[in-house]
Every structure is written in C-alpha cells, then in structure tokens.
Amino acid sequence: MPIEIKVGPPVLTINQGSTFMVTSECGEIDPHQEHGVFAKDTRFLSAYRFTINGQRWDLHSSAQISYYSASLHFTNPPLITTEGELGPRQIWLALTRTVGDGIHEDFAIVNYSLTPVRLFFELEMRSDFADLFDVKRHVLVRRGVLSSEWVPAAGASQLITTYRHQDFERSVIYKVLRHTTPPSFTNGQLVFELRLAPGEQWHTCGYIIPVYDGRKHEPIYPCHQVTAGNTPLDELQRRWQQAATVCSTSNEVVQHTFRQSVHDMGALRLYDQDFSEDVWLPAAGVPWFVAVFGRDSLVAALQTMLIHYPFALGALAKLAEYQAGELDDYRDAEPGKILHELRCGERAHFHLIPHTPYYGTATATWMAMAFKSTRHAPASAITMSDGKTPATPSSILMVASWICRPGCVNCRAMSMTPN
C-alpha cells in the first residue's frame, strides 16, 4: 500500500534564544498558516505583509544567512502612479532581518528608473497573541481583550498592541526608526509616502519588540548585521565553538558536517535557562519545540558528551529544578519523575494544559538514572565547584525510588541492567 507523504508550504525560519519568526519565502506572515513571531509560547505577530501602492512586491531571492538572520530582495510589479505608468523592475527593495531578543528589520528602497517617482510603501500587521498549542491545531480561541495605540514621534514612532486576560498580559511594539519620511498609521497600516529621484535610496528600520515578564525585549543587533557581531550572544556562541571538541580529518564532508553540527547545537541555546557561560540547555527543536524537554535534553547531553560535557550539567541542573515532588494525576506527576515538557503560554498559565510541567514520560526518568555511571558523565556532573548541584544525591535517589516503587516491574529490570 503506497504511503502518502505530505510536504507543507516552504517557510523561512530564523531564531535565537526563545524568540523565532516563521514566514513564507516572501517574508510575509500568512494568518491562515503556521506563521508568526513567537516567544514564550505566544504568537506576537499573526499577520504581516508589505506592499507598494497596495500591490505585492515581486520576490527575486530570499535566504537564511545564519540561524538568526535572513535576507530578501524584491522589485516592483507594474504600477500606475500619479506621474503615469511605472514599468516592472524599476524599484528595488532589500529587506534584512535579525533575531536577537527582539527582531530588527532593515528596509532599503532604491529608484533605478530614469525619472522621479512618488510611491506609497505600506506595512500591514496584526496580532492575535494565540497560544502555540492553538496555532498548531488551527483552532484559535480569543480569551482576552486586545487594544492598539499609535504613538507618532519625530525620532521613533510606535504601534503598541496589548493583550490582557486576567493576570496574563503580553504586548508587542513595532517601532519605526531612522527614517527620513515619517510614517502615518491609517486603515490598519503603517504608510510611508516616498519621493525618490533617479538613483536615490530610502531607508528605515523596524523593531519588533515582544513584551513579556515585565520587560521589553528590544533587538540587540545594529542595522544590516546579518552575520556574527560583538553582542553578548555572539560572544557566548564563540565561547561554545572554542570549547567544543575539534574534528580534524582529510575528509572535507565529515569535517564540514561536524562543524555545522556544532554550530547548529549553539543555535538551539535557550539563553534564559543558562546556569553559566559554559553550562546551558538546548531547546528540543526549532520552531515548535523551543522549550525545556526532559528526554530531548538528556539525549542531546548523552550524544554530545565527547563534544562538550557541560550539556549534561545544564540538562541535569534544569531537570532537577523541576523534578516532581508530589502526586498529580493531571500532570502525570509522581515523586521522583523527570519532566517531559515545560510550557509557559496562556493555556499553561491558566492550567488548560498540564504542561506546567508535564511528566507524561517514563523514558526521561530512566535516562536521568543513566548519568549515575561515570562511563557516561564526568564526576563534576554530580556536584559542581560553584555549589550548584545539577544532580544531587537526593534527586538521584528520588529517581531510583520512582523506578523501584512498590509493585513496579522496573525495579527488577533495572537490577538486571549492567553498570
């Protein structure tokens, strides 16, 4: 019987830390697709597109430059302007995006025609603040109240959209900076009126700023910074790559694959879960699993032990923080169990899902027990010199107690497992 293989529409994904952006290849967010700007299990932007005189731009190229940056290039379609007809490919648009806490967008528009032009450049965006679980199941439920405010200013105009549901609050700010033409906000769009002489270039920056946990998460990268810079996040990535084991071989394919794998592991770093510069935790995957997972973190730690053992320290420390200490059938929690998944969106906040955290796995607890063997983990994985104890004897005993709980066949199976 033939197997149907379903392939979804192509997307462009960039991420850093807990923030990620998923768009079409054209860089737009389709509200009917699994697109958006996400952080902390919340979709901060649910629709986003940019037009010229109300028409879609023609895409020429789009690519991910690094895991946290993308570059897109467009030209205009045929247009009717106040000066008459404007043929295609006379106006060029370059858009670069970088994710670093918030998202920095650079728009550059150049008039390559031989005559002056008057154009309208429009940005249209909407926010639904949907929970990640609702986005994935394509069932959007608005539980709170939305409000928007346009704050024009000479240096940096802002569109502020806020969502409130009892004590749960999220906001997103779209800030427009470094523009020679101030924008207006009308009919749900930011509109720039441009007058460009032949060969003239116009530029502006847009900041997408998620607001949560009482803080504005502003972009950290300057204009046109699409490769490694000098930010604290870049420095942490350099330290990670310098600390990782180096593979040297005459086989270039193997060597390139190894280097790229080290780079990709760094792209999964959850900076808000760091214990120190060298002890950190990777996300389970981008884009939908940017969260703490028990089994995935332990698998990554075991598989990369020869590359960088502090993975194990970060995994053990974080999972020990959330080790179950009481019985809770709703979350499948039992004393000693290691979590399966931790979420922090609206549904988790109001306990509409059990992921606060959820303990519905046996594998993670078994794998945590595997670190008792010095063959798998260094001695420092039990007690670190700075006093932090990622896997204290008490937490290990709790794991063993759960595995050997009365009436459970796991105890006999574990006793038969060689050390």
What CATH number is attached to the domain comprising 68? 2.70.98.40
Q: Look at residue 3 and tell me if it is in a domain.
A: no
- In this prediction the pTM is 0.89
User: 337 and 193, same structural domain?
Assistant: no
Token duo for residue 410: 């796991």
Q: Look at residue 76 and tell me if it is in a domain.
A: yes
Among 68, 37, 396, 403, residue whose Cα is nearest residue 220: 68
User: 62 and 193, same structural domain?
Assistant: yes
- Note whether 210 and 172 are within 8 A (CB): yes
Mean pLDDT by 10 residues, the chain (419 residues): 69 94 96 95 97 96 94 96 92 96 96 95 97 93 94 90 97 92 90 96 96 94 76 89 90 92 90 84 88 89 82 83 92 93 96 95 84 48 46 73 68 44
| pLDDT in the model for residue 416 | 41
Q: What distance in Å separates the CA atoms of residue 204 and residue 93, rounded to the nearest whole number?
A: 12
Tally of structural domains, the chain: 2
Q: Look at residue 208 and tell me if it is in a domain.
A: yes
| pLDDT in the model for residue 184 | 93
Residues 6+ apart with CB under 8 A from 262: 240, 241, 244, 307
- Note whether 209 and 102 are within 8 A (CB): yes
User: 329 and 207, same structural domain?
Assistant: no
User: 287 and 212, same structural domain?
Assistant: no
User: 280 and 197, same structural domain?
Assistant: no
User: 112 and 47, same structural domain?
Assistant: yes
Q: Hey, which bits of 198-337 come out as E strands?
A: 201-212, 215-216, 292-293
- Note whether 68 and 17 are within 8 A (CB): no
| Domain hosting residue 185, numbered range | 11-216
**Domain limit, last residue, from 201, 216, 231:** 216
User: 286 and 181, same structural domain?
Assistant: no
User: 187 and 74, same structural domain?
Assistant: yes
**Domain limit, last residue, from 216, 234, 253:** 216
Q: Look at residue 229 and tell me if it is in a domain.
A: no
Q: Look at residue 261 and tell me if it is in a domain.
A: no
| pLDDT in the model for residue 331 | 95
Q: Look at residue 379 and tell me if it is in a domain.
A: yes
**Domain limit, last residue, from 194, 216, 238:** 216
Q: What distance in Å separates the CA atoms of residue 208 and residue 104, rounded to the nearest whole number?
A: 7
User: 168 and 78, same structural domain?
Assistant: yes
Q: Look at residue 242 and tell me if it is in a domain.
A: no
For residue 24, count other CB atoms closer than 10 A to its CB: 17
User: 401 and 295, same structural domain?
Assistant: yes
User: 204 and 99, same structural domain?
Assistant: yes
User: 277 and 208, same structural domain?
Assistant: no
